[in-house]
Amino acid sequence: MHIIRPSAFADASSFPTPLADLVVRVAVANLVSAARKISLRDAAARHYPGDRLTSAAAGFLDIDNVLARAVSDPAQTTVPTWAAELAGGVGSGGVIAALTDGQSVYAQLAARGPRVSLAGKGSAVLPRRDPTPSIGGAFVGPGEAIKVSRANFAGLPIRPKMAGVISFFSRQLSEKSTPAIESVLRSAMAEDTTIEIDSVLLDANPATSIRPAGLLDGVAATAASTETGLAGLVADIRALLAAITTGPLIDPIFLASTETALVMGLLAPGVALPVIASPSVPGDRLILVDAADFASAEGDLPGISVSTESTIHAEDTNPLPLVDAAGVVASPQVSLWQSDLIGLRLLLDVSWIMARPGRVAVVDGIGW
């Protein structure tokens, strides 16, 4: 297994390759290396001759930034994702935006709100100004004293959470051409990353030691209008706006299912409603978020690793240890080695938080 540590490619800006391509190509080199039993250096050189990514991968292979070792004891999962032994998780920002082509709800919200870096840090602090006292200027007459104000600032701590995405492929994939491998990996990473991150972002669960809080944590649903058509849409939007009571909205945006977003466009064709459409939002729900208060934090490039020998609990809802402390065996289990499969894992440091409370509202049961 080759683990590409983020520090190995920390200066991603020095590469002409776009970030998403960089991540995918490192993943391709890992997959081919594991499948064909060749070094990462040889795999990268074979598929990307002359590419600066190849030089970076080969150059870092023999130093401490890359750890190459055989799989022994599988890592324990602490965040529910696809595999009990390989990883855990939920989501990130810049890398996620690149991998999902900016289409995930998280990536679009993160692009609109304040962002800080978690690279090499145990936590990050987002500066936040208290709304009072006001430091706005005032008109003064000739010779009059000018108002002197002092702003109160506080730090909003954001601690990293480990986000993980796992995809599985048959060994036969490694025999395909480089463009074909890249296409398959890019599609799988985009889909898996979007689902994992947005499903957590859009839920109502509180923050824990392993995950950030969902946007709907502590948010009481507003009653939906009984009106239909445009009247119902307008009534529900008014109700959402009225539910935000902690100050004026700065960058309001609606979150809706793909179908609901299309209906909104049909009902109000002449109005450019700011909407993020996502299949992760239930069809009868409409969410309003002040994106200016959505603060996100992320690490640098992801850790990428490949395994061909682990055994996993193949469960996408409630993954468990293969055998728990009471001796209960998880089922179903899949052996990557026995099934001739390759497991590809991405790990990232990521977190998010609403900078101010009361900046999210939701209506359930919409019927227009």
150-207 pLDDT, tens digit each: 766 777 888 888 887 777 778 777 676 667 777 777 777 777 777 888 999 999 999 9
Task: For the chain, give the percent of residues with pLDDT over 90.
Answer: 32
CA distances (Å), origin 74, targets 1, 70, 130, 152, 333: 12, 11, 46, 48, 14
**What residues contact 26, with CB distance under 8 A and at least 6 apart?**
4, 9, 53, 57, 304
**What's the whole-model pTM score?**
0.71
Does position 362 have pLDDT exceeding 80, yes or no? Answer: yes
Question: Reduced to 3 states, what is the DSSP secondary structure of residue 1?
Answer: coil
pLDDT of res. 297: 87
Distance in angstroms (rounded) separating the CA atoms of residues 219 and 211: 18
Determine the 3-state secondary structure of 180 from DSSP. helix
Residue 343 phi/psi, 5-degree rounding, is -100, 125
Higher pLDDT, 68 or 95: 95
Q: Does the domain at residues 222-295+356-364 carry the CATH identifier 3.40.640.10?
A: no
Q: Is the pLDDT of residue 84 over 60?
A: no
Residues of the chain with CATH 3.30.2320.10: 222-295+356-364
